[in-house]
Chain A
Amino acid sequence: MLEIRRASVLYPARDKSEPVEALRNVELTIEPGEFVVALGASGCGKSTLLNLIAGFLAPSSGQIKLDGAPVTGPGQDRAVVFQKHALMPWMNVLDNLAFGLKLQGVAKAERYKVAREFLTVLGLEGFEDSPVYMLSGGMQQRVGIGRALTADPRILLMDEPLGALDALTRERAQELILKIWEAQGKSVFLITHSVEEALFMGSKLIVMSPRPGRITHRFELPFSRRFLAGESARDVKASPEFIAMRETILGIIFADEEKAA
């Protein structure tokens, strides 16, 4: 279980600019197996929140705990999937997938065995020896997701992982992530700009607002469970409940944007 208690982040003043309150008093609990999606206008602090959980950033005040132990820096229990995949171009697909295990000192045969399992899960069979710079964007991002999963983290942190993909690839990747989530039972924290993606994927949605960055709304979502129970993604997204929810969320976000403008 991940707990964030009254976490604030204040970026100090620089040159002539005012200090920026990136996050104010954020309270958030991510239960084991929960899929939390953060949504909000740009500048609302979603990335700052992810960096806090990942340990790339320390809070100015407040606390972050994973299973009771305070988070003091990045670690293997919180693997991150980046927007720009951040793969290592000098390694092939298999070595990228096995990178976390290599860092943990797992022997070559064993780490390749694990990596090959994920190769199948991610639909990358036949590409294990390909250099990653030769792959399409969608495949690169799948390698990025696989690399985070092979490290067997407690929680998976995803920073707009599908933002750079085209619409079709993106929907397929959403379904893939949900299926992996169901199979692995991991906690997930995902940031997105897309309201539809947030509603479809999350089991819990937090909506954030800028100046200062804070969580303003929380929703429990049923849609990913419905998809995993067998309903098609298109049916879920076309259902009246989904559309009603989408309008509510869009209303909140547009109100924020208008205030900013």
Chain B
Amino acid sequence: MTMDIQDESRPAPMIKRIFRQAPTKPGQTYGVPGEGNTIKISVVAVLVVLGLWQIVTASGLIAPLFLPSPVAVVQKLFGLISTGFTGVPLWEHILVSAGRVFAAFALACIIGIPLGLAMGMSPVMRGLFDPFLEFYRPIPPLAYLPLMIIWFGIGETSKVLLIFLSVLAPVALGARAGVRSVAIEQIHAAYSLGASRAQVLREVVLPSALPEILTAMRIGVGFGWTTLVAAEMVAATMGLGYMVLSASQFLQTSTVLVGIFLIGGIAWCFDLAMRWVEKKVVPWKGRM
């Protein structure tokens, strides 16, 4: 017997165990990475984090000024619902912010999707708009917020415009990329069946761009929520971003957390809705 024969009774090293391929069960495919349902794990993970949060706050390890307990945050939420924030009911803050984001989002889709499609289909349009779109896209909205205020004042216009600009670039670029996703065989097939150029665009290019357009809309609305707080930094008297910012100045940490969770919750619900739309409208996505 030699020394290098592995001792079967000893457990394998940790790393090896994690990356080991589990044997397949009936009906499963061997070796597909990342398979399996995650809902149970996610629910447990969230509950554990909430539990830890409650423990560290209740035990006094962290002062409520820095991190109020989850119970305190929920209490704050009910407080805000009944008394409002700075004299304005909570639902009005929510409505104003959601209105700003979705107005800007709708505007960005109405302008950005046709613009992106045109850029994908015509070199003239691409040549015209590409430099501007690509230049302003990586600039943080906070950097051109002052300019918006100088040009459009401190009213609603500059706020919606700021959010609009942050959504426009990803939506337009997504639509443009969608045009590229059509297979040349599909275009040739349409032509050889007697399609005109306009028909190819409407009947082939547009529907095949749809999955990418929907993905771009999902990404775009995320940018919109990101920019909301920046837009509500100046001269706002209402809105969730305004609520978070002014509460932070008075060290009302629990109000800050309520605002953050509300923004996250609304954005998450909208994303779920978009995913549902995706399933209904483009069930063929990635399947052909």
| Chains A and B are bound partners | yes
Which residues of A come within 8 Å of B, CB atoms?
54-56, 73-76, 78-80, 82, 84, 86-90, 99-100, 102-104, 131-133, 147-148, 151, 157
Of B111-119, B141-149, B151-159, B199-207, the one touching chain A: B199-207
Which residues of B come within 8 Å of A, CB atoms?
183, 185-186, 188-196, 199, 203-204, 207-208, 210, 282-284, 287-288
A86 nearest CB neighbor, chain B only: B185
23 contacts between A and B (CB under 8 A): A54-B192, A56-B191, A74-B192, A75-B191, A75-B192, A75-B194, A76-B194, A78-B192, A79-B193, A80-B189, A86-B185, A86-B189, A87-B288, A88-B186, A88-B204, A88-B207, A90-B208, A100-B193, A103-B190, A103-B203, A131-B283, A132-B288, A147-B189
Bound CA span A89–B181, Å: 13
Task: Indicate if the CB atoms of A74 and B191 lie closer than 8 Å.
Answer: yes
Bound CA span A132–B203, Å: 16
Task: Indicate if the CB atoms of A90 and B284 lie closer than 8 Å.
Answer: yes
Beyond known contacts A55-B191, A79-B192, A103-B193: 7 more, CB 8 A cutoff: A54-B188, A55-B192, A74-B192, A86-B185, A90-B210, A100-B194, A104-B193
Task: Indicate if the CB atoms of B192 and A80 lie closer than 8 Å.
Answer: yes
A80 nearest CB neighbor, chain B only: B192
Chain A residues in 8 Å Cβ range of B207: 88, 90
**Candidates A76, A132, A133; contact of B193 at CB < 8 Å:** A76
Chain A residues in 8 Å Cβ range of B204: 88
Task: Indicate if the CB atoms of A103 and B195 lie closer than 8 Å.
Answer: yes
Bound CA span A12–B196, Å: 28
**Candidates A55, A84, A100, A148; contact of B185 at CB < 8 Å:** A84
Chain A nearest Cβ from B85, distance in angstroms = 47
**Candidates A80, A87, A102; contact of B188 at CB < 8 Å:** A80
Chain A residues in 8 Å Cβ range of B287: 89, 133
Chain B residues in 8 Å Cβ range of A132: 288
Given contacts A88-B207, A89-B288, A132-B288, contact A151 B194 (CB under 8 A): yes
Bound CA span A74–B190, Å: 9
Most chain A Cβ neighbours within 10 Å, of B193, B196, B207 = B193
Task: Indicate if the CB atoms of B193 and A151 lie closer than 8 Å.
Answer: yes
From DSSP, what is the main secondary structure of chain B's interface residues? helix
Chain A nearest Cβ from B264, distance in angstroms = 33
Task: Indicate if the CB atoms of A76 and B186 lie closer than 8 Å.
Answer: no
A99 nearest CB neighbor, chain B only: B193
Closest 9 CB pairs of A and B: A76-B194, A86-B185, A100-B193, A89-B284, A74-B191, A89-B288, A80-B192, A133-B287, A86-B189
Bound CA span A87–B185, Å: 9
Most chain A Cβ neighbours within 10 Å, of B188, B199, B208 = B188
Most chain A Cβ neighbours within 10 Å, of B188, B194, B199, B284 = B194
Chain A residues in 8 Å Cβ range of B186: 86, 88
Chain A residues in 8 Å Cβ range of B185: 82, 84, 86
A101 nearest CB neighbor, chain B only: B193
Chain B residues in 8 Å Cβ range of A103: 190, 193-196, 199, 203
Chain A nearest Cβ from B199, distance in angstroms = 5
Chain B nearest Cβ from A190, distance in angstroms = 15
Chain B residues in 8 Å Cβ range of A100: 193-194
**Candidates B188, B191, B195; contact of A82 at CB < 8 Å:** B188
Most chain B Cβ neighbours within 10 Å, of A55, A74, A79 = A74
Bound CA span A181–B199, Å: 29
Bound CA span A148–B193, Å: 7
Bound CA span A55–B191, Å: 9
Bound CA span A124–B31, Å: 35
Chain A residues in 8 Å Cβ range of B183: 84, 86
Chain B nearest Cβ from A186, distance in angstroms = 14
A144 nearest CB neighbor, chain B only: B189
Most chain A Cβ neighbours within 10 Å, of B191, B196, B282 = B191
Bound CA span A55–B80, Å: 69
